[in-house]
Amino acid sequence: MAKKIEDIYTKRINQFQNSIKSKFFINEINFDAKYYKTKDQVLFRDRLEGEYKKITPGEIWGNINENAWFNLTGKIPENWKNKKIVAKLNFTGEALIFSNDGIPLQALTSSSVYNPEFKRDLFTLHENCSGGEKIELWIESVSMGYLGVNQQMDPAPESKNRYGEFNSTVNDISFGIFNENLWHMYLDIEVLNRLSKQLPEKSVRRSRIIRNVNKALDIYFINPENINEARSILKIELDKPASSSELDVTAVGHAHIDTAWLWTVSETIRKCGRTFSNQIKLLEKYPEYVFGASQPQHYDFTKKYYPDVYEKIKKYVKEGRWELQGGMWVEADANLISGESMIRQILYGKNFFMDEFGYDVKNLWLPDVFGYSAAIPQILRKSGIDYFLTQKISWSQINEFPYNSFIWRGIDGSDVISHFPPENNYNSDLTPGLVISGRDNFKEKDFLDEFLSLYGVGNGGGGPKEENIEFGLRMKNLEGAPKIKFGRADEFFERLKKFKDELPLWVGELYLELHRGTLTTQALVKKQNRKLELRLRELEILYSATDVKNYPAEEFNQIWKKVLINQFHDIIPGSSINETYKVTHSEYNQAFDDLTNLENNIANILFNQNDNAITFFNSLSHKYEGRVELPEEWSYGLIDKENNLIPVQKENDRFIANLSIGPLSFLTLYKSEKYDKIEIKNEKLILENILIKYEFNDEGNLISAFDKELNIPILAENSFGNILSLYDDNPSEWDAWDVDITYENTFIENAKADKVEKSFNGNVRSGIEFHYILRNSEIIQLVTLQANSKRLDFETKVNWHEKHKMLRVSFPVNVFTDQASFDIQYGYLKRNTHRNTSWDFAKFEVAAHKYADLSQDNFGVAILNDCKYGHKVLGNVLDLNLLRSTTYPDPDADIGEHKFTYSILPHKGNLINSNVFTEAEKLNQGIMSFPGMVNNNNNLPCKILSEGITIEVIKKAEKSDDLIIRLVEFRGLNSKGKILFKNYPVEISETNLIEWEENPTVIIESDFEIELKPFEIRTYRINNPF
């Protein structure tokens, strides 16, 4: 066929496909419609309480986020007998159709701000009507698209649409006859036409497809009643089988639902109801179809708010056609949350699936998370998870990840079988173009025959549509395309496991070369999350000192679930709308209040009242020596029970003590009228003790730092430290998400202190307070040095009022090394400090938790923090991202007051032999204080003696009265230790992280000796020691 003729035929096909869509639905009749509009959601049972008004097509019914119930009535004409009758419904916003008795039937979707062409607007009323039937529909709708509302990038503060705008119109409320045969002809042609566009221009297969599709069109145009004859011509091409060497595609129906993003969690509840209703309807229609969904939190929502839908889900789970995916409670961020939070995500997630469905999920399902910590493989394997799936790494800006199916190895050596669907998409459509691109991208096709396709529009799009499934059915065995089979991801992974020994290996983190700004945006969310993680830890440990009947398991569960849901990968990273964070902070505040109540309760159980006493608790596994800020109501000095005076100083209205408390121990001290009343001076800007000397200039820069113990200058030659730098921060896209490397070229200015507020020396610590004005913002820094410590703390308050600016602090140090160490979940990770390769270059902003360290063998410097995550270590410069000021999707992001502390810690030796680990813990965890209380000879059930192992968790077991203790090796060495128990004998057995494994119990009569491998996490069950 000549090319010009072929082009004419191809244009004819395209034109037919575009025009025929309007002919599926004929003889339209509008419903009689009325509606009841409200600001907030009204449940089905309460829908009749409002006043209904008539409405017709073309009328606007709602503004942004408004809700409405629609009641539609009509009657099918008698002469439509034996026809398929469908309703065509489009309310602009998302909607859910209910039966007259309140059972959700199907969702409706009308485009989005990102995809204006997508629609789900047809609802089948009768497959074969009798004629004359009456119709009544109840429909709940919300005035927003399935991806939120229309937002400006930089809205003015006074704009009435600052948080977005959206108007919803009744576009369609009709019913009519559906020409299903014509629809199938369209699908036949669509598959063949799209396939032809993927084939070589001069291929036989392409020419035959174009020829036969045009023959089918000839037959149809001669007489549209000849659809069956036309389809028989198309069938010739559709029946041609794939080659024997063609790859298989396991197609898993998928609907990625963000727990919050451009909408709040409450709207996600409705998205679950809509999406799951859709998928039940498809499962009923297509016997081969398989759907899967992750996030037990979403199932829990559905169980509570859509019980009829939930019962049908359970039915299809039992049949094996609804796959439970992903072990985490929600699809959580994997950079920012702690190691214990990761474990609890899986513990709550897997327990829910087991308790509700009797099913053990073996995969971690995180298709859309912004990078993956190297600590994850061990946590997965020790939680009974063998497989990992994502596609997000395909979004990387610079380097293409080399594998699709591979072994991922973590910091401890644990391996997880991993798969990245090669379509680089979790919203596939099962069309030839995407599936063939997956085949061509699949990097292991030289020895593997199969890859996964996740298809269906998520986030309110409702998952796969009938068209997607129909495409898959036509491509089960189609020449020129991979062979599609509907199936389950878990079964795919089991097949992949057979090739484990041949799979390539990736060691270390899965770094996403994108969305680096999520390490910093919405700083308060990140701070509150860390504080809650630490508060939960210390209170769980504290409650282990009492009888099991006092352990508030349910209260802890509810608080943990609030923490876990807000660790979702668009909440804690800072990439959600303003309203989401109002809810998050409200929930955080409630969690803190609940924890305070639990703290007061345990204090009354463990301690005796004594107005002259104060009791302290150290939850850390090492001795705490250092500064403790005493409670506001304590305005005294301190003595011990032998009347020895404890160093205390008064700073303004604050009392600061220098305490020494044993590991996992209590300490009671008593009132004294003696304390150091510090003298406020304005002398030289020097902080000094017997170990170290720091000197500042009057602009707040650290101009000299000298380690007197080691006789080494800390700062690089001719360099200053504590450089507070302001940069322009305008990423090319994804405002809240991204920090582009071009920020390095847009330095604006360094902050310079305009005055020194005060300087002082005391017996606990010395300090200097600087005041800065930086453009529209104000910074106050109290810089302090404790007695007998090298750690220099920068207690910082910022009143931040910038837009598209970024505040960073840097310290050029006198250390030369090509690698730095970064704190991650239950371990640390080494990264290069140079940009020799494109892989190094891409890591210009990386995640770390409590510290980043630069060390030579004899000396090093670490930067510590109490709530920050975005780090850069380039050459010898330690650099910390403090604040951003993005405007989308939250125009108010980070505006206002911030309080945080970062520290510089010079140390002897390398990281492993240093005090960096303990100082970082002390800066973050701190000491619990109980004024007016005396410890009543209470001790924790166990302690540990080890240089490299800590007790991270002591808690009641989830499903028994046993005690759970979790140990972590934190130095990256083979470490030995002893667990010392309060009482002997002790019955002890090892279990896994989620407490499911049952191993033989050992009776211990004395100290329990242990040895852990580098970064190993180990969990023990102690039989009822309370």
Active site residues: 368
* Residue 321 token pair: 């056609």
Is 960 in contact with 995 (CB distance < 8 Å)? no
Rg (alpha carbons) of the chain, rounded to whole number: 32
Q: Is the peptide bond before 985 cis (omega within 30 degrees of 0)?
A: yes
Q: 595 phi and psi, to 5 degrees?
A: -70, -35
What span, in angstroms and rounded, lies between the C-alpha atoms of 99 and 779? 59
Q: 585 phi and psi, to 5 degrees?
A: -70, -35
* DSSP letter string, 704-735: EEEETTTTEE-BPTT--B-EEEEEE---SS-T
Is 198 in contact with 436 (CB distance < 8 Å)? yes
C-alpha dihedral, 350 to 355 to 357 to 360, nearest 10°: 30
* Residue 872 token pair: 């850069």
Residue 15 DSSP one-character state: H
Long-range contacts from 684-691, C-beta under 8 angstroms, 24+ separation: 685/756, 685/759, 685/768, 687/766, 687/767, 687/768, 687/783, 687/784, 687/785, 687/792, 688/766, 688/785, 689/766, 689/785, 689/786, 689/787, 689/788, 689/789, 690/788, 691/788, 691/789, 691/790
Secondary structure string (H, E, C) spanning 432-501: HHHHHHHHHHCCCCCCCCEEEEEECECCCCCECCHHHHHHHHHCCCCCCCCEEEECCHHHHHHHHHCCHH
Report the sign of the C-alpha dihedral through residues 540, 541, 544, 550, in that order.
Answer: negative
* Residue 958 token pair: 């989830």
From 720, 721, 737, 739, select the one nearest 729 (Cα to Cα): 739
Chain-centroid distance, C-alpha 345:
11
Residue 196 is inside which H or E element, if any?
Answer: helix 180-196
From 97, 163, 156, 102, select the one nearest 124 (Cα to Cα): 97
* Residue 100 token pair: 């007259």
Is 179 in contact with 201 (CB distance < 8 Å)? no
What span, in angstroms and rounded, lies between the C-alpha atoms of 999 and 990? 6
What span, in angstroms and rounded, lies between the C-alpha atoms of 124 and 8? 37
What span, in angstroms and rounded, lies between the C-alpha atoms of 239 and 241? 6
For the chain, the distance separating the N- and C-terminal CA atoms, rounded to the nearest angstrom, is 85
HSE value, Cβ hemisphere, 13 Å, CA-based, for 548: 15
C-alpha dihedral, 638 to 642 to 643 to 644, nearest 10°: -70
Residue whose entry in the numeric block shows the structure tokens 């996030």: 295
What span, in angstroms and rounded, lies between the C-alpha atoms of 574 and 518? 6
What span, in angstroms and rounded, lies between the C-alpha atoms of 449 and 859? 52
Q: Is the peptide bond before 889 cis (omega within 30 degrees of 0)?
A: yes
3-state secondary structure of 372: strand
Neighbours of 1012 (CB within 10 A): 21
What span, in angstroms and rounded, lies between the C-alpha atoms of 354 and 791? 47
Neighbours of 999 (CB within 10 A): 12
Label residues 560-570 b or e (16+ Cβ within 10 Å = b).
bbbbbbbbbbb
